[in-house]
Amino acid sequence: MNDDQLIRYGRQIMLPDFDVAGQNSLAEAHVLIVGVGGLGSPAALYLAAAGVGRLTLCDHDTVDLSNLQRQIVHATGDIGRNKAHSGKETLAAINPNVTVHVIDQQISEALLQHQLKQVTLVLDCTDNVATRYMINEACWSASVPLVSGAAIGWEGQISVFDARVKDAPCYRCLYPNTSGESTLDCATNGVIAPLVGTIGAVQALEAIKLIANVGQPLSGHVLYFDAKYMEWRKLKLSRRTQCPVCCDAV
């Protein structure tokens, strides 16, 4: 770590339970962020600023004017551009020490399995239930930690699904089926702008804790946030005995 990096990351390094070892762990990490929208924007910004060595941004969508109310990694001049490419440019300006890879196509099972061979962990910042299920199953099978976030209206949630933790639940334990969930997206239901920033920032924080092995991640719990009444609730989540993804895990 050179002098410039010591200054850049100094406020983190001075934390006794983080120190230089934690910063080095971030520098060696590779995080895949699926979705560079409302959640992926703040998550990517904080992970890049904190010094994660490699980030892979995956998004096939393009920036639209209606995105700019909350997707803060993009600017007005990015309208019409692919979100992953737009995000890469912003992150490079924030921290040139970070290597940013781009996947400008929709995530698929084959693509995801290829990525999981080289990443430290995954952030699910999507708003599609089928994609969430696919990411959950692939991460669980590969024993790669998954930091999942969701936000709609005035409410959000965060959890960590980690197959390395004994008896830990997965995303399927939280949502066993898709009934009634497919219409829950920002385009049809709306979302207050700072909510996605709050949830995405917590996703970044959980990722940093996992990488640096600091504190207690949210594995086995779901953290719910009600922005309208500024209430946080942390609820225990147990493995579902008939879960098709994790119930037979060793």
Residues in the chain: 250
- Report how far residue 27's alpha carbon sits from residue 29's, in angstroms, rounded to the nearest whole number: 6
In this predicted structure, what is the pLDDT of residue 183? 52
Q: Across residues 57-81, what is the average pLDDT?
A: 98
pLDDT in tens, 111-127: 999 999 999 999 999 99
Q: What count of other Cβ atoms lies within 10 Å of the Cβ of residue 8? A: 18
Give 130's pLDDT tier (boundaries 50, 70, 90): very high
pLDDT in tens, 1-36: 899 999 999 999 999 999 999 999 999 999 999 999
Q: What count of other Cβ atoms lies within 10 Å of the Cβ of residue 193? A: 12
- The full set of domains in the chain, from first to last, is 3-236 (3.40.50.720)
In this predicted structure, what is the pLDDT of residue 180? 43
Give the angle subtended at the CA of 173 by the CAs of 213 and 133, to the nearest 5°. 85
Element (H, E) at 173: helix 171-174
pLDDT value at 249 more than 50? no
Residue appearing with tokens 């994609």: 131
Task: Confirm if 246 and 173 have CB atoms less than 8 A apart.
Answer: yes
Q: What count of other Cβ atoms lies within 10 Å of the Cβ of residue 175? A: 14
pTM of the prediction? 0.94
In this predicted structure, what is the pLDDT of residue 184? 61
Give the angle subtended at the CA of 29 by the CAs of 74 and 70, to the nearest 5°. 20
- Report how far residue 30's alpha carbon sits from residue 12's, in angstroms, rounded to the nearest whole number: 19
**25 CA to centre of own chain:** 18
pLDDT in tens, 162-195: 999 999 999 999 999 865 454 567 777 899 999 9
Give the angle subtended at the CA of 100 by the CAs of 95 and 104, to the nearest 5°. 140
Task: Confirm if 126 and 151 have CB atoms less than 8 A apart.
Answer: no
pLDDT in tens, 41-65: 999 999 999 999 999 999 999 999 9
Lowest mean pLDDT among 70-79, 105-114, 144-153, 185-194: 185-194
